[in-house]
Structure 1
Amino acid sequence: MMAAGPFPRGVTGRHVLLGLAIFFGIMFVANGFLVYYAVSTFSGGDRPNPYRSGLNYNETIAEAQRQAAKGWAGRAEYDESAGRLTLRLTDTSAAPVSGLALTGTLGRPAVNHEDRVVTFREWAEGVYVSDVTLDPGNWVLSVESSEQEGGAPVYRLKKRLIVADGS
């Protein structure tokens, strides 16, 4: 003798239809959440318009070669107690590089909601500072320098900063 199961009259077309509707409904909701989070978070690009950058790839390579020929080196440090970001630029003979107009952006490596524009002023010969308050964690500093305000960039620098948790 057979025991009565959950479907005493057997599985009907309504049961199959309801099961398929529930299954695909759960799949659509789960995929909807995944698509939302994929689109609303980091796009993966580190430039504002990567397609245009790719079209000018040969010019980008020539610019990188001109920059490498200068032999400039940059070192960035953040002083949490003073709330100051310091950038030191030196040439191949370790002499300070001064007289530049620096503009830059500072942001997190994986998200863009904390990105901010930083302005530097020359504090000493070859030493540029910006007053900025940073939360603990990883930051990426991107700087362009020109010989005059609004001029063509002569040097680009990208550095990663790690701000320690002060507590």
Structure 2
Amino acid sequence: MIGHIFRPKTFTGWHMLGVMALFFGTIIGVNVTMATFAGKSWTGLVVQNSYVAGQEFNEKVAEAREQDALGWKGVFSFERGVARYRLLDASGAPIRLEGVSVMFRRPSYEAEDMTLELLRAADGSFAITPQIGDGLWLVDIQAFADSGTSRPFRENHRVEIVKGSVR
């Protein structure tokens, strides 16, 4: 009777088929899951057309040199949830602006990116209270001066927001 209980089981072809199905099913399942996550995350795309971006490079360098020659300095701050911007001339006097546009971008995930138009504050600066979360942000600013310059003053900042203020 005891020999009947401990009798060795035979490993059949059906057992091998089950082992193979579990093995390859696990590999395929993991691959499909990873491919799905990869398809829903950051694409890695920085520009739509790298050839066109390369052709525009020299023009952008010339614009940056013209902007630097003005001697203007932008002052961006983010404190207690308020983004504030002002533009100063070479002597430190404020420059009257028509408007300021700010794009908040995550460095590696475009789903939270937003472009906002700042509003003129009583002190002459431009400000807005955006609803953005903590973490790293790329801030691209375009200030449109009343001085008749044909191009906006452009400026970029990389900031870390912690509890509503720049760290």
State TM-score, norm by structure 2.
0.70
- Residues of 2 paired with 1:155 and 1:50: CA distance? 24
Fraction of identical pairs, as percent: 23
Segments of structure 1 that go 5 or more residues without pairing to the other structure are: none
- Residues of 1 paired with 2:54 and 2:108: CA distance? 22
- Residues of 2 paired with 1:58 and 1:50: CA distance? 16
Q: In structure 2, do the counterparts of structure 1 residues 70 and 15 end up closer, same or farther at CA, with 3 Å as the change threshold?
A: farther
1:144 and 1:154 in contact (8 A); partners too: yes
Q: Pairwise mapping of residues 124-139 of structure 1 onto structure 2 (< 5 A)?
A: 124-125=123-124, 127-139=125-137
Counterpart of 2:44 in structure 1 is 44
Q: In structure 2, do the counterparts of structure 1 residues 69 and 31 end up closer, same or farther at CA, with 3 Å as the change threshold?
A: farther
Displacement after TM superposition at 1:86 (Å): 0.4
Q: Deviations over 1:81-135 (max 9, x none)?
A: xx4210132233333232242212223333222222211233334x221232333
| Pair 1:23 & 2:23 matched | yes
2:103 and 2:141 in contact (8 A); partners too: yes
Counterpart of 2:108 in structure 1 is 110
| Pair 1:59 & 2:62 matched | no
Counterpart of 1:162 in structure 2 is 160
1:67 and 1:154 in contact (8 A); partners too: no
Instruction: Pick from 86, 89, 103 the counterpart of residue 88 of structure 1.
Output: 86
Q: In structure 2, do the counterparts of structure 1 residues 159 and 45 end up closer, same or farther at CA, with 3 Å as the change threshold?
A: farther
Segments of structure 2 that go 5 or more residues without pairing to the other structure are: 1-5
Kindly tell me the number of residue pairs found equivalent between the two proteins: 155
- Residues of 2 paired with 1:27 and 1:71: CA distance? 60
What RMSD, in angstroms, separates the aligned Cα atoms of the two structures? 3.1
2:96 and 2:145 in contact (8 A); partners too: no
Instruction: Pick from 89, 95, 98 the counterpart of residue 97 of structure 1.
Output: 95
- Residues of 2 paired with 1:146 and 1:134: CA distance? 24
